[in-house]
Amino acid sequence: MSADVIQWLLESEEPWTCYRTLVDLRDREEDDPEVQAARQEMLACSQVQDLIAQAAAWPARPLKRHNDASHPIYALSTLADFGVRADDPAMAAGIEAVMAHQAPEGAFQTLINIPKAFGGTGEDTWTWILCDAPTLLYSLAAMGLADDPRVRQAADHLAQLVDDSGWRCVAAPELGKFRGPGRKSDPCPIVNVYALKALAHVPDLVDSPATRTGTEMLLWHWEHQGERKIYMFGIGTDFRKLKYPFVWYDVLHVVDVLSRFPFVRGDRRLREMVQTITAQADEQGRYTASSMYRAWKGWSFADKRSPSPWLTFLVLRVLRRMETSR
């Protein structure tokens, strides 16, 4: 890992990148003065403050499609990615708003509007589907609430929903027979990504039957990409483009999640995925977005013309994790 690239990250104008680089790539402790300074700068940054304001207004509006990068659910998950914690200033409102809506079975709910044409009522409803509930669980757990009984209930519920081939498109009981498109028996790739990302933050579930099944589903999908396309989730040119925030099914999102599990870091299929990413580095070892969400215009990871410190950090963190395998 080039010292010059690390220095470039530390000198970037992105305090979230500086903070995470110090902690994740330089192994600095949270009480280190330089870490604390970077963290305070991140929390005071206007861009991060805007995300916190979006989280505080949860849910703001109903979720109508799960790849809507402008929805506040992705403001929450991006804050979690940056390392913002539940007890940070101004975070309480958003956290309490999310935790105020938990289904009896355990999943955290989202205000959703499913059109009648897709089997819904066409009305705004507090409910859950496995392509939104795990993102809320991830955000809460990553922000330091993994030991909260409500979060633990949601994690246990999610782990219990895994099927023999991974997580499928499962929804709340009150939604009846509703499910997403594709074969009923197929696992849903993006649900497996979301679910694994959440459970990676629950220590005693990191290496569990559920996570073993989910990781194998994603690795199997890569291995059989030329033989079997799961509806909506092909592994082609678009899948290989570098893109952030982590909203949908693409290579950096999948690799970032899989690399959190030590038991798959030595897997040939994961290493192949990583190679499709590292092949996109420039001569200095930096990475530039090859796709973007327009809702995030103005952030470096939504700029297809210049290297992004945050994208570069994310790749380097994956490579750092991959150095340790068993």
pLDDT tens by residue, 130-171: 989 999 999 999 999 999 999 999 999 999 999 999 999 888
Question: Using an 8 Å Cβ cutoff, are 193 and 249 in contact?
Answer: yes
Q: Which two tokens stand for residue 176?
A: 């009846």
| CA–CA distance, 35 with 296 (Å, rounded to integer) | 26
The pLDDT tens digits of the residues spanning 247-291 come to 999 999 999 999 999 999 999 999 999 999 999 999 999 999 999
Q: Give yes or no for a cis peptide into 307 (omega within 30° of 0).
A: no
Q: Which residues is 126 bridged to in the sheet?
A: 111
Is the bond leading into 203 cis (omega within 30 degrees of zero)?
Answer: no
Contact 18, 38 (CB under 8 A): yes
Domain residue spans of the chain:
1-44+239-326, 56-235
**What does pTM read for this prediction?**
0.95
pLDDT for the residue numbered 182: 63
**Tens-place pLDDT, residues 184-215:** 778 999 999 999 999 999 999 999 999 999 99
